[in-house]
């Protein structure tokens, strides 16, 4: 069993204050394959102390000094890329090819993009060329970075890299369920040789280290990605110290398929929702189909879902893997059963294990048709390979159904009518709208409306999250 119990504090790998072992489970076979330690308050306090001490010097570094260190980190990331792919595949069940091309690749692409943005970013600007007022951007201070398991290195890179880039110091707490990619990333940071205390890693759970970071008076900001449930608790715990809290939370994306959509729109929508075994915050989990093409769309959706293979994460190929854990597995199966009980039509998949897989948290790609937007499967974030198909008649009805949710992260629409696409995209209440299968470029902001959160990650918006803005007058 892989032993990774040490924490990274003040530039060194150190033993936890007390033993508190936690086994990391491989979701493909339900067996533990690594052991970490969950931190106690003493460990969190040590890490915060180190970050606070390091801030005074680190904030004075020049942009060029930080770019040099980040470029070194990028080189090391590229060198250990395969290790990152296999680590993510083991810890959260992403099939190895997908783990490499999407999961591990996301870490590299954020590093590359933030280096570019940092090169162009001005930390000092005239307010107005005729004025003697100057606007400065300064690092916010000590940051607590709390990340989930579903896109582990994507989320870590979206926080650690801009925090480093802007001159902040930090304590990273990755998800305890998939902590290995965070440990590997910390090894890379160690290899770069950032000044001691700038970056610290404490493994732990939400109740322990997560809460300690959120409520600590010496933590100036929490950047959190995870469930809306935990986002709410973090906000409450952070309120006493008025720290900045940036939240990237859950979603329940709608995908409007108009009758004039491109030929493969339905099939692409199915692939999109099932990829990563449905464990993406912006997955298009509600497909709204115009009534005139409803039956054709349903037939295509069923055919496509039945083509998707489910298998072990270690195997090469374009199959989907297991879901992360027994807790998630049970939750998804419960929601599938609720869909059946509430009267939706189970058109593909279902609660039984996929053929030939008797161990591991595997779920069949599942499609419900004739779904009503007030059913649990249309309202709650399922976070598994499950799609709800809902018919609509008019454009306004489709927009109303998509917007009738407490979330607002990513929505999708498919039509060949450019004017309609622009009109509808503006009406959808979400941080991102994807038209006709186009994906977002690196460096565009990512985040949500309503209960999907209040932050924006990526690009210059991702840098600005970690900065204070200061006005100085009389600057000549």
What whole-number distance in Å separates Cα of residue 434 and Cα of residue 412?
Answer: 5
**Half-sphere exposure for 273 (CA within 13 Å, toward CB):** 33
Residues 6+ apart with CB under 8 A from 136: 123, 124, 469, 470, 471, 472
Number of residues binding to ligand NAD, judged by CB under 6 A = 32
Residues 295, 259: Cα–Cα separation, whole Å:
11
Q: Which is nearer to ligand NAD, 156 or 421 (CB)?
A: 156
Annotated catalytic residue 143: no
What is the maximal distance between C-alpha atoms in the chain? Answer: 74
Query: Which is the catalytic residue, given 281, 304, 381, 432?
Result: 281
Query: Which residues in the 420-449 window bind ligand NAD by CB under 6 A?
Result: 448
The alpha-carbon radius of gyration of the chain (Å, integer) is 23
C-beta of 163: minimal distance to ligand NAD in Å?
16
Q: Note whether 454 binds ligand NAD by CB under 6 A.
A: no
43: contact with ligand NAD by CB under 6 A = no
In the set 89, 103, 106, 147, which binds ligand NAD (CB under 6 A)?
Answer: 147
> Under rule CB under 6 A, which residues in 260-289 are in contact with ligand NAD?
281
Query: Measuring CA to CA, which residue among 313, 379, 227, 406 is closest to residue 31?
Result: 313
Residues 165-194 binding ligand NAD (CB under 6 A) are: 173, 175-176
Residue 387 pairs in a beta bridge with 367
Nearest approach, Cβ of 475 to ligand NAD (angstroms)?
37
* Binder of ligand NAD out of 25, 34, 230, 273 (CB under 6 A): 230
Q: Cα separation of 421 and 260, whole Å?
A: 11
Q: Which stretch binds ligand NAD (CB under 6 A): 15-23, 99-107, 119-127, 248-256?
A: 248-256
Interface residue with ligand NAD among 37, 186, 225, 275 (CB under 6 A) is 225
**Which of the residues 386 through 415 are near ligand NAD (CB under 6 A)?**
409
Q: Tell me, yes or no, if 248 is annotated catalytic.
A: yes
In DSSP terms, which residues pair with 248 in a beta bridge? Answer: 225, 453
Q: How many CB atoms lie within 10 A of CB 123?
A: 16
The values of phi and psi at residue 35, to 5°, are -130, 130
Q: Give the Cα separation of 155 and 148 in Å (integer).
A: 7
Task: Spot the catalytic one: 248, 304, 457, 465.
Answer: 248
Residues in the chain, total: 476
Q: Does 215 bind ligand NAD (CB under 6 A)?
A: no
Residue with tokens 């198909």: 389
325 vs 369 by CB, closer to ligand NAD: 325
Closer residue to ligand NAD in complex, CB, 235/338: 235
CB-based contact 332:292 (threshold 8 Å): no
Position 332 contacts ligand NAD (CB under 6 A)? no
Tokens of 257: 């398929």
Strand ranges (DSSP E) for 160-259?
169-173, 199-201, 221-225, 244-248, 254-257
210 contacts ligand NAD (rule: CB under 6 A): yes
Q: Would you count residue 301 as binding ligand NAD (CB under 6 A)?
A: no
In this chain, which of 7, 151, 412, 449 binds ligand NAD, going by CB under 6 A?
151
The residues facing 286 across adjacent strands are: 254, 388
Asked if residue 87 binds ligand NAD (CB under 6 A), the reply is no
Minimum CB distance to ligand NAD, residue 343 (Å): 26
Binding status of residue 91 toward ligand NAD by CB under 6 A: no
238 contacts ligand NAD (rule: CB under 6 A): no
What positions carry a catalytic annotation?
Answer: 248, 281
Q: Report the interface residues with ligand NAD, using CB under 6 A.
A: 146-151, 155, 173, 175-176, 205-206, 210-211, 214, 225-227, 230, 233-234, 248-251, 281, 381, 383, 409, 448, 452-453
């Amino acid at each position: 069993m892989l032993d990774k119990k040490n924490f990274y504090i003040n530039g060194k790998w150190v033993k936890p204050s007390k033993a508190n072992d936690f086994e990391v489970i491989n979701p493909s076979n339900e067996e533990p394959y690594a052991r970490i330690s969950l931190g106690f308050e003493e460990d969190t306090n040590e890490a915060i102390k180190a970050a606070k001490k390091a801030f005074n010097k680190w904030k004075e570094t020049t942009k060029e000094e930080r770019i040099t260190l980040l470029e070194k980190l990028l080189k090391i990331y590229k060198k250990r890329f395969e290790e990152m792919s296999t680590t993510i595949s083991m810890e959260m069940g992403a099939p190895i090819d997908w783990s490499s091309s999407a999961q591990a690749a996301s870490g590299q692409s954020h590093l590359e993009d933030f280096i570019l943005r940092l090169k162009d970013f001005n930390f000092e600007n005239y307010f107005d060329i005729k004025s003697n007022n100057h606007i400065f951007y300064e690092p916010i201070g000590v940051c607590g970075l709390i990340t989930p398991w579903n896109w582990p290195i994507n989320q870590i890179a979206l926080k650690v890299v801009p925090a480093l880039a802007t001159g902040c110091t930090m304590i990273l707490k990755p998800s305890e369920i998939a902590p290995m990619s965070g440990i590997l990333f910390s090894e890379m940071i160690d290899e770069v040789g950032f000044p001691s205390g700038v970056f610290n890693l404490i493994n732990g759970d939400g109740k322990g280290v997560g809460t300690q970071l959120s409520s600590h008076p010496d933590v100036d900001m929490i950047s959190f990605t995870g469930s809306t449930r935990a986002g709410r608790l973090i906000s409450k715990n952070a309120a006493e110290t008025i720290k900045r809290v940036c939240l990237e939370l859950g979603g329940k994306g709608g995908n409007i398929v108009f009758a004039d959509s491109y030929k493969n729109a339905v099939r692409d929508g199915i692939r999109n929702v099932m990829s990563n075994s449905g464990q993406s915050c912006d997955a298009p989990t509600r497909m709204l189909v115009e009534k005139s093409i409803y039956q054709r769309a349903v037939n295509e959706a069923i055919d496509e879902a039945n083509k998707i293979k489910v298998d072990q994460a270690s195997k090469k190929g374009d199959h989907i893997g297991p879901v992360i854990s027994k807790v998630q597995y049970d939750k998804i199966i419960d929601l599938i059963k609720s869909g059946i009980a509430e009267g939706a039509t189970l058109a593909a998949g279902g609660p039984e294990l996929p053929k030939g897989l008797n161990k591991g948290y595997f779920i069949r790609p599942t499609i419900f048709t004739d779904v009503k937007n007030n059913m649990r499967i249309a309202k709650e974030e399922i976070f598994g390979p499950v799609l709800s198909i809902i018919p609509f008649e008019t454009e306004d009805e489709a927009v109303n159904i998509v917007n009738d949710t407490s979330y607002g992260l990513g929505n999708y629409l498919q039509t060949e009518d450019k004017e309609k696409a622009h009109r509808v995209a503006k009406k959808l209440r979400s941080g991102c709208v994807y038209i006709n299968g186009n994906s977002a470029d690196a460096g565009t902001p990512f985040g949500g409306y309503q209960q999907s959160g209040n932050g924006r990650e990526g690009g210059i918006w991702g840098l600005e999250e970690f900065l204070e803005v200061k006005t100085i007058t009389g600057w000549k």
